[in-house]
Amino acid sequence: MVIFKSKYPDVEIPCDVGIYQFVMSNPNQISDDKAVFIDAITHKKIGFGDLKSDTRRFAAGLQDHLGFKRGDVLCIYSPNQIDYATVVFGCLAAGGKVSPANCSYTAKELTYQLLDSGATVIIAHPDTISKAIEASINAKIPESNIFVFGDHEVNGIQPYTSLLGIHEAEPVRFTPEEIKTTTAFLCYSSGTTGRSKGVETTHYNFIANLMQTRAFEGDNVHSSLCYLGVLPFYHMYALSVNLHFALLLGATTIVIQKFDIKTFFKAIQDYKVDIAPVVPPILLLMVKNPAECNLKYVMCGAAPLSKSLSDDFDRIYRIPIKQLYGLTETSPISHIGPLEKLVNGSVGVLLPNIQAKIISENGHELGFDQPGELYLRGPMVMKGYLNNKEATDNCIDKDGWFRTGDIATVDKDAPAELESLLLTHPAIADAAVIGVYSEKEATELPRAYVVPQGQGPTIKLQQEILQFVASRVSYFKRLKGGVVFVDKIPKSLSGKILRRMLRNGKGFNVLTLEESKIKARL
């Protein structure tokens, strides 16, 4: 059996707490006063302490005033809101399931999701409240269970703040077995085919993916970062990155309710945004409307990114792109690419704890460099499709393999793994890896050729890179052949690394270390 495993060591997935407790655990020890969400237009802020209090008060209101019980479903039907997170985490704290709905849905489409999910409570936006009321009638949800974002009554509907109780509820806790089986989110996806289906994402699925992503990112992510929240929070991509991952870090998210290019650029400049999760159409608009933009990098996912668009973006902005691959059904991220221009459609490497295999049209397992359907297995794969055993059985087999419906190949070029890892280091602009023969060990050892970024080559940086790699790969993959700083990596016109030239010492210049010479290691 040809099974491809993540090159990163597995991480331990906690199963003693639910999503609420996990995300609010504040591992980076930010203060309660720190703003974790800021509205890009109104500049309203929500501090970490207020968020904790408001979510527990909202949970108390759901329980005390609506009789909301563990396992009940709350639907959010709204564009991005600064208090979207308050409702999400308040529902989770009450032991409920969150079912975010596309805010562009018609009343008929919303009715389907309400009926299928079994939602009993709706939180809508003033702009969507009329359709929410219409859908609620067909779904037999009483008007008293519909609320609107903001502080004011709209069309006779009370604001959600009217549910904020005086006391704070104690967040519901689950046993380890319950954490693995209890659904936390019901996002709707078309899957590989057919009508929109409710994806049952458990507490364990979601926590696993947050842990996998954090382990991959390492020290590159921290509480001082600022994220842009422009993608719709009802989509699993933004739900994960902006409402959970950034909050887990203690980072700040700048919330944009509705995308337009001017607001987008202004928010980045006004708030010194570091990271912008985007989709290819936003990159295209950025290319067509060049403006000052000082992002550290962009994250791009949810749809294929063409190499031509990636190249155009790089030519104009010189901002790295971190490519993501995943699905709602994988909670959502399974692959993350290096910080670079897109290379031959690559979607990056598998996150920790994930296995993959490539299956041909006739069901045979394929090896390296052979295109076929991508299957994934890991703790982030959904529980299944709600009320749809047939669809679940068609995409998840008895051994836990999930059919993505996407065609992929696995690159056999082993140095690419180390190169992808090196390119995630903030002090590295470009890198290549080759094997160099060691008489002492009678074998080839990996050596990295690195183009430094933002600082000159030093022994300190050299040691930092060696340790950075050593802490993330198996022993035999460590850079025991050393790190050499160069002015550029020789490449072909198509962007392929010319390893032969690296071996021959051609096409580049070695940069002299700013500190004392390092002794040869071989």
**174-217 per-position pLDDT tens digit:** 999 999 999 999 999 865 555 789 999 999 999 999 999 999 89
**What burial letters (b/e) apply to 250-266, b meaning 16+ CB within 10 Å?**
bbbbbbbbebeeeebbe
The residues with which 355 forms a beta bridge, in sequence order, are 5, 377
pLDDT category at 337 given cuts 50, 70, 90 is confident
**Per-residue pLDDT at 340:** 56
Structure-block tokens of residue 225: 């970062």
In tens, the pLDDT along 421-472 reads: 898 898 998 898 887 877 776 556 789 999 998 888 999 999 999 999 988 8
What are the backbone dihedrals phi and psi of residue 288, each rounded to the nearest 5 degrees, phi first?
A: -80, -15
98, 183 Cβ separation under 8 angstroms: no
The percent of residues above 70 in pLDDT, for the chain, comes to 92
* 8-state DSSP, 351: P
* 8-state DSSP, 18: -
The percent of residues above 90 in pLDDT, for the chain, comes to 73
Number of Cβ within a 10 Å radius of residue 66: 18
Beta strands in 203-316 (DSSP E): 226-229, 252-255, 275-278, 297-300
**Per-residue pLDDT at 442:** 54
388, 373 Cβ separation under 8 angstroms: no
**Per-residue pLDDT at 8:** 80
Out of 28-37, 166-175, 267-276, 430-439, pick the least confident. 430-439
Q: pTM score, two decimals?
A: 0.80
**Per-residue pLDDT at 382:** 98
The CA-atom distances, in angstroms, between 443 and each of 217, 414, 449, 471, 476 are 31, 16, 19, 22, 11
**Per-residue pLDDT at 194:** 59
CATH classification code of 48-173:
3.40.50.980
Q: What share of the chain is helix, strand, coil (3-state, %, to 5)?
A: 30, 25, 45
As a whole number of angstroms, the distance between CA 162 and CA 153 comes to 10
As a whole number of angstroms, the distance between CA 181 and CA 173 comes to 13
Beta strands in 206-247 (DSSP E): 226-229
Structure-block tokens of residue 188: 């709707």
Q: Is 517's pLDDT higher than 50?
A: no
Structure-block tokens of residue 485: 């700083």
As a whole number of angstroms, the distance between CA 513 and CA 508 comes to 16
The residues with which 408 forms a beta bridge, in sequence order, are 372
**Per-residue pLDDT at 472:** 81
The CA-atom distances, in angstroms, between 391 and each of 110, 356, 401 are 21, 21, 14
23, 48 Cβ separation under 8 angstroms: no
Through-space distance between the first and last CA atoms of the chain, rounded to whole angstroms: 38
pLDDT category at 475 given cuts 50, 70, 90 is low
SS3 of residue 209 by DSSP = helix
What are the backbone dihedrals phi and psi of residue 123, each rounded to the nearest 5 degrees, phi first?
A: -115, 115
Q: Is 474's pLDDT higher than 90?
A: no
**Per-residue pLDDT at 184:** 98
Report the pLDDT averaged over residues 357-377. Answer: 90
CATH 3.40.50.1220 assigned to domain 415-504? The reply is no
**Per-residue pLDDT at 516:** 38
Q: Is 49's pLDDT higher than 60?
A: yes
What does the radius of gyration of the chain's CA atoms come to, in whole angstroms? 24
As a whole number of angstroms, the distance between CA 149 and CA 101 comes to 15
452, 513 Cβ separation under 8 angstroms: no
Every domain range in the chain assigned CATH 3.40.50.980: 48-173
Every domain range in the chain assigned CATH 3.30.300.30: 415-504
Structure-block tokens of residue 274: 């570091």
* 8-state DSSP, 386: T
SS3 of residue 385 by DSSP = strand
Q: Give the chain's mean pLDDT.
A: 91
Give the residue among 293, 288, 245 at the shortest CA–CA distance from 266: 293
Q: What is the dihedral angle through the alpha carbons of 138, 141, 143, 148, rounded to the nearest 10 degrees?
A: -100
Residue showing tokens 């049952």 = 200
Q: Kindly give, in sequence order, each residue whose CB lies less than 8 Å from that of residue 34, ignoring residues fewer than 6 positions away.
A: 47, 48, 223, 250, 252
**Per-residue pLDDT at 521:** 38
pLDDT category at 305 given cuts 50, 70, 90 is confident
As a whole number of angstroms, the distance between CA 287 and CA 284 comes to 5
Number of Cβ within a 10 Å radius of residue 235: 17
In tens, the pLDDT along 388-414 reads: 999 999 999 999 999 999 988 887 656
As a whole number of angstroms, the distance between CA 76 and CA 59 comes to 15
Q: Is 339's pLDDT higher than 90?
A: no
Choice between 191 and 313, residue whose per-residue pLDDT is larger: 313
**Per-residue pLDDT at 518:** 41
